[in-house]
Chains A and B, each alone.
Chain A
Amino acid sequence: MTIQATSPSAPRVERPARSSFLNDPDKRGYIIQAVLLVLVVAFIWWLGHNTAQNLQRLHIASGFGFLNERAGFNIGQSLIPYSGDRSYGYALLVGIINTIEVAILGIVIATIVGVLVGVGRLSSNWLIRQLATVYVELFRNIPPLLVIFFWYFGVLAVLPNPRDAINLGLGFSLSNRGLFTPKPIFEHGALYVGIAILVGIVAAWALSRWATARQMRTGQQFPSFWAGLAVIVVLGAASFAATGAPLHFDIPVKTRFNLNGGSQLGPELVSLLLALAIYTASFIAEIVRAGILSVSHGQTEAAYSLGLKVGPTMRKIILPQALRVVIPPLTSEYLNLMKNTSLAVAIGFADLVAVGGSILNQTGQSVEVVLIWMLVYLGLSLIMAVLMNWYNRKMALVER
């Protein structure tokens, strides 16, 4: 608000005569902001300059040149091809990808479990309600690090060694080295199957659009979910048979020490994932419960009186409205989960902090590594916040 707006009758030309430069709130505001900005920039510059000077005086190497040097150490879990001959920078990338992997998988599992438990707490079934309450009260009150240790040293470590692995059939086996599964190997022709399935998905989507439009127009329902699924399965199966079954499985085999081949879900990843997902799910459950309770009971009664069953009432009436309340606090929980992945160091999972720790010690460049840690977590958090805010705006009440 400017002076002009509050006193529209005052002619602008008279103001300089009446008030000094400093008494003009407008200009004073700009000056204060400018001074603050200069101070902040100067402080940051001083921090950086002083750090660099101190490092130099203490003969400590500085700068980010080390990122291009050979890393030399191996990493146990990596989603991209990695060997000790790669650079420190590439090793950090492996750590970042592992962090993102745990964050995404953790968020998916935590959301599913959290929504189920949250709905369960409001169930009319006494047993389900009590179980959900016990779950929430138990897991949200235990520090996540202890839950990680519980899974890692308490549960997964007592599994047998790989030579006496528990055989789950079909090439699946469980041991203290994790869960081994057969790995699908796609041969020539698998591409066509993929295309066929994609076409099926598009067709199913179109079918569902058509069904919705028809229901809006005529009120008649169409089992679009099952019909769509049938289209996808039929197209996929037909192309699979036509191209001569271009798929086989690499089944893990026992060697002297480990199982070789197939895919492996290591106990570090599993325990970290279980611990973080279960811990965060207890908070999400409470958020979901609060969201559902925020939708007035009249909505449920109205839906029932229109003849909707329990499932559709929840899916189409209650949850969409609850989401508006749920999303903002949910964002915080997702951010918490992502930051909690740094607890991975305790059990030897090669996340960003663990890999960065190795690099910090090889190179001794703690200031740079800590800076990278902070920037990566900040960046990931901001990206996630932006995505969730976008989703929040999309779900927000649109006033017509």
Chain B
Amino acid sequence: MKRTFLPALAGAALALSASFAGAATLDTVKQKGFLQCGVNTGLPGFGNPNEKGEWTGFDVDYCRAIASAVFGDPTKVKFTPLDAKERFTALQSGEVDVLIRNTTWTMSRDTSLGLKFAGVNYYDGQGFMVKKSLGVKSVNELSGASICVQSGTDTELNLADYFKSHNMQYNPVVFEKVSEANSAYDSGRCDAYTTDQSGLYATRLQLQKPDDTIVLPEIISKEPLGPVVRQGDDVWFNVVKWTHYALLDAEELGVTQQNADQMKSSDNPDIKRLLGVQGNFGQGIGLSNDWAYKIVKGVGNYGELFEKDLGQSSPLKIQRGENALWNKGGLQYGMPIL
């Protein structure tokens, strides 16, 4: 069976290989000439193949940003679609170089899986959606409901904790794949569907009658989503981490895909350092000095990616909210390149 096959394969890999994955990921990536990126099997806005079969989404564009930083070419990525259960094993076993699959940063994942979170590219929170016809206005009215949830997610745990702490009963119906959970909710098997709020908006669009479903206002958990790498490879960890900061710094400094070339002649020292005109910052992470220029030239800055994949130019129309820059009332804060 495919679902159990991957963990089993990883187990076999762990058992048989004498040494692997300890090697520097950056060198391996440069050597093979492309980045192997683990993404969602199908979540509009984050990782989803479009009708032409091309991968689109915010997480997918982060993969392209890393490829741009390393190769100066956003197309040098191969995508591995992973479900919730397969994702960590795939990263641990070295099948993917980086996992960018709307994965929540939690302590246990950060400390006991042999993995490291390289930042938060999207601040999310768990929400619920229900059929309008039920007349439910709040999560606290859901006692006794059947709730569809994806297995192997912290969503499953948050759900249990929230209902327990509010003395409410529920009947979980647990699916492995988003698509299976969706169709079960659509067919009325469940009264409510729970996942991260961004995921709810995306899922709602895929329903047969999106207008019959409303997303409830409450957020019951913190869901900081971010890229994940293997523990113990600091060079690669830095590449992924600073790709994220470069995207944020570029937005903050007003450097866009369009004006990146002009900006190279800017007088602003921050911009000069970001675009590699001044200083040797690229060397510190094993890349060329114009690494950040390549990122912005390749995919754009954080704001541009958000707008294209999640914001007003996308079908999802999600507000920036907590994902606005720190100086615009949000939480996104790019460390200075200095």
A364 nearest CB across to chain B (Å) = 4
Q: Which residues of A contact B187 (CB under 8 A)?
A: 153, 157-158, 176
Report A338-374 CB contacts with B as 1/0, cut-off 8 Å: 0000110111101001100110111110110111010
Tell me if B144 counts as interface (CB < 8 A to partner A): yes
Known: A51-B14, A161-B188, A177-B189. A364 touches B231 (CB 8 A): no
> Do B144 and A256 touch (CB < 8 A)?
yes
Chain B interface size, as a band, is 35 or more
> Do B145 and A257 touch (CB < 8 A)?
yes
B83 nearest CB across to chain A (Å) = 10
Q: Which residues of B contact A158 (CB under 8 A)?
A: 187
Tell me if B308 counts as interface (CB < 8 A to partner A): no
A374 (CB) vs chain B CBs: closest residue: B8
Known: A59-B232, A361-B88, A370-B4. A72 touches B170 (CB 8 A): no
Known: A260-B144, A358-B151. A366 touches B176 (CB 8 A): no
> Do A346 and B157 touch (CB < 8 A)?
no
> Do B8 and A370 touch (CB < 8 A)?
yes
Task: Tell me, in angstroms, the Cα distance from A157 to B184 when the chains sit together.
Answer: 8
Task: Tell me, in angstroms, the Cα distance from A363 to B188 when the chains sit together.
Answer: 32
> Do A366 and B231 touch (CB < 8 A)?
no
> Do A176 and B114 touch (CB < 8 A)?
no
Task: Tell me, in angstroms, the Cα distance from A257 to B168 when the chains sit together.
Answer: 13
Tell me if B27 counts as interface (CB < 8 A to partner A): no
Which residues of B in the span 4-56 have a Cβ within 8 Å of any Cβ on A? 4, 7-8, 10-11, 14-18, 21-22
> Do B232 and A58 touch (CB < 8 A)?
yes
Q: Dominant SS at the A interface? A: helix
Q: Which residues of B contact A373 (CB under 8 A)?
A: 4
Q: Which residues of B contact A367 (CB under 8 A)?
A: 10-11, 14-15
Excluding A153-B187, A157-B189, 8 further A-B contacts by CB distance (< 8 Å) are A58-B22, A60-B114, A72-B157, A84-B160, A157-B188, A257-B134, A353-B4, A367-B10
**B residues in contact (CB < 8 Å) with A:** 1, 3-4, 7-8, 10-11, 14-18, 21-22, 84-85, 88-89, 92, 108-109, 112-114, 134, 142, 144-146, 148, 151-153, 156-157, 159-161, 163-164, 170-176, 180-181, 183-184, 187-189, 191, 230-232
10 residue pairs bridging A and B, Cβ less than 8 Å apart: A60-B92, A73-B157, A74-B163, A177-B189, A256-B144, A258-B191, A343-B1, A354-B174, A357-B176, A360-B7
- Top 6 A-B pairs, shortest CB-CB distance: A361-B152, A157-B187, A60-B114, A364-B113, A366-B7, A61-B112
